[in-house]
Amino acid sequence: MPPLWSSQHAEVEDHLEIGFRDLIELRFVKAFIDAGVGLLAIRNCLEYARKCVEDERPFSTRRFETDGRTIFLESIEKAGESKLIDLKKRQYVFKQVIERTFKDLDIEDDTVVSWRPFHGKRSIVIDPNRAFGQPIASDFGVPTVALAQAVQAEGSVEDVARLFDVSVNVVRDAVTFEDELMKAA
């Protein structure tokens, strides 16, 4: 089977490199797989959504946020997925998955522009136009890894907040976020 889409950075030949919108598309694929949607239905949905939304990466657009449930239901029918679950329940599940997946994304001009990966909190953001897309303290621009490492070196959240001119709460969020990343790895 061919890949679901080509990477934004397909010109890189010696390794796989994905762009920000690729990352957002992957989040959607994972969310729907976790909800029990088969890969064939996801593939059909992606093809159909590309046509409806007129974008190569439709899951990361505002139009998919509003049209996604219908697109997925029609794609599941086309893929011949099991009809054991009634349509109302599927609609509810898809609505939940789509709303939950868009909850921590920021959209401008119909496209996802940033992601708030720390439980949707605004303190930490991944924005491909800032700090090379690494997680940062959103209002301050300081990479979360720098804040977490500084706390480890200094031994004090308060001292790091003062050194970087960042609020104590943001430093705590950065430390917790980086800890969660390490545990997930």
104-157 tens-digit pLDDT? 999 888 888 999 999 999 999 999 999 999 999 999 999 999 999 999 999 999
User: What one-letter code names the amino acid at 185?
Assistant: A
CA distance 102 to 107: 9
∠ CA 144-150-151 to the nearest 5 degrees?
Answer: 95
> By three-state DSSP, how is residue 13 classified?
coil
Of residues 43 and 127, the one with the higher pLDDT is: 127
Q: For residue 86, is pLDDT > 50?
A: no
Sketch the domain layout of the chain as residue ranges.
20-105, 124-184
Give burial (CB, 10 Å; 0-12/13-18/19+) of 51: exposed
